Structure 1
Amino acid sequence: MNSKLMIKQLSVFHQQTNRILIDSVNLSVDEGEVVALVGASGSGKSLIAQAVLQLLPDNLRQTGILNYQSRPITKKDRGQNIVLIPQSIDALDPLMKVKKQIQSLLPAPHSEQKVFDLLGRLGLEEEVASRYPFQLSGGQARRILVAIALGSAAKVVIADEPTPGLDVDSKTDMLSLLKEVKASGKSILLITHDFDVAVDLADRIAVIKDGKIIENTLKENFVGKGERLFHPYTKALWQALPKNLFIRSL
């Protein structure tokens, strides 16, 4: 398949100490594919997303290859070819109405009707377009973030921890929204620590620990007691889920 996003031998170092934060990561997301990057807090998931989006802080440096459609990723790709669904709804501009925020990232021509159609596709009324972010409920704001990703011309979507802190209904709603993005044909890199979300949405699951990807496998291998899984840490994570009866604690 044609890889929309290709990460080869990506390493991230702290400038002053040379401490390795990401260690020789290889990861690809093919056309129309959802790849979940799963790991505990501090494992390096978000650093990989920042590297892809060219947003690493100045005190870090990176080596390796990051390609979008077989060419090096540049800052111009951010928002145009690779778009982020951020974890926090605070990412919305508090001083800009919803319609203008969506239009700013839609490919031309970005008519008002196109915004209304996009909102309707995600279950929002047209009047939402005239509101400011502070006038939205949390659920509405999350839908707007997904609407921006869905309506953009970007072929790759990075969803950064889209479900933490959500109740069961809100989590189900967010998964439905992400499935809508998947159905549109976009490729998704899903960053999460929630195995249930990964198994529900992803085609492949990569597990990261201490800056290294220790397993990269089809989601179909996450069954039973993890007999099809390779790494003991991955098996332990899988077996520790409530639905797997907490077979082993980490």
Structure 2
Amino acid sequence: MDTILTVNQLSVFHQNAEHYLLEDIHFSLYRGQVLALVGASGSGKSLLAQSILQLLPDNLRQNGDVLYSDRQVNEHDRGRNIVLIPQSVEALDPLMKVGKQIEGLIQAENPHQVMLDLLAQLGLNADIATRYPFQLSGGQARRVLATIALGSPANVVIADEPTPGLDEEAKYEMIALLKEVQQAGKAILLITHDFDVALQLADQVAVLDQGEIIEVTDVHHFSGDGEKLVHPLTKALWQSLPQNLFIKYAEKT
């Protein structure tokens, strides 16, 4: 398999608090693969995305390797080779119309038409392109962020919680579009707390707990009572879902 992104012995140290927020993170991402990163709030999922993109504040020190096609990632890879669908809708430029923000990242003969096609795929009307971000609902803004990211030429897409705030129809459209991105040969790191979304999209699932990846496993291992899962915390997470035993996660950890 063609490895496109490698994270090796990655740690993030908080210099003021003097403790590690992420420690000894390892995983590889292949072309056409979706790796879902799941875990409780505060486990370090979004921090890991910031580390990959070299976006950490000065009080955090990063060690280890983040490689894109066997070379160290740098700031020039952002938007060009690795693109982020951010969790916060505040990432949109408030002074620029939506259409211009999307077209600015599209490399095609007719970026305007590509932009309209992407909007349609996410269930957005063409007139969205003429609006400013403040004129969008929260769900519309989240879908626009996805459109901007997916219109870029990047081979790696980091989707940081792409579905919260979306109704069921919009969530279905987002999942369908991410599947198309995967089928086009791009790799996706899907950061989510929505386990159902992870199971619909991912080839593998990485479970993050208190800054450490405790298990990386095939998505098909999340079945039955979780007998193919290795770590007790992963089994507890699986069994706590409504469609399973409804065992409270806190009781198992």
| TM-score, scaled to structure 2 | 0.92
Equivalence for 1:198? 198
User: Relative to 1, partners in 2 of residues 1:22 and 1:109: Cα closer, same or farther, differing over 3 Å?
Assistant: same
Q: What amino acid maps onto 2:69 in structure 1?
A: Q
Runs of 4+ displaced beyond 4 Å: none
Which one is further off, 116-125 or 60-69? 116-125
Q: Is the 1:103–1:110 Cα contact (8 Å) retained in structure 2?
A: no
Cα shift at 1:20: 1.2
Equivalence for 1:56? 56
Cα shift at 1:245: 2.8
1:245 and 2:238 correspond: no
Equivalence for 2:40? 40
Summarize deviations over 1:155-188 as a string: whole Å, max 9, x none. Answer: 1010111223444444333323322332332110
Which one is further off, 37-46 or 135-144? 135-144
Equivalence for 1:185? 185
Query: Structure 1 unaligned runs (5+)?
Result: none
Equivalence for 2:233? 233
Equivalence for 1:171? 171
What is the rounded CA distance, in whole Å, between the counterparts of 2:149 and 2:40 in structure 1? 25
Q: What amino acid maps onto 1:192 in structure 2?
A: T
What is the rounded CA distance, in whole Å, between the counterparts of 1:154 and 1:171 in structure 2? 23
Which one is further off, 71-80 or 175-184? 175-184
1:119 and 2:89 correspond: no
What is the rounded CA distance, in whole Å, between the counterparts of 1:122 and 1:63 in structure 2? 38
What is the rounded CA distance, in whole Å, between the counterparts of 1:248 and 1:101 in structure 2? 43
User: Relative to 1, partners in 2 of residues 1:249 and 1:146: Cα closer, same or farther, differing over 3 Å?
Assistant: closer
Q: What amino acid maps onto 2:195 in structure 1?
A: F
User: Relative to 1, partners in 2 of residues 1:170 and 1:118: Cα closer, same or farther, differing over 3 Å?
Assistant: closer
- The alignment partner of 1:243 has SS state of coil
Cα shift at 1:248: 4.7
What is the rounded CA distance, in whole Å, between the counterparts of 1:116 and 1:40 in structure 2? 36
- The alignment partner of 1:100 has SS state of helix
Task: Give matches, 1:150-161, under 5 Å.
Answer: 150-161=150-161
Which one is further off, 109-118 or 43-52? 109-118
Q: What amino acid maps onto 1:122 in structure 2?
A: L
Cα shift at 1:44: 1.2
User: Relative to 1, partners in 2 of residues 1:171 and 1:114: Cα closer, same or farther, differing over 3 Å?
Assistant: closer
User: Relative to 1, partners in 2 of residues 1:172 and 1:121: Cα closer, same or farther, differing over 3 Å?
Assistant: closer
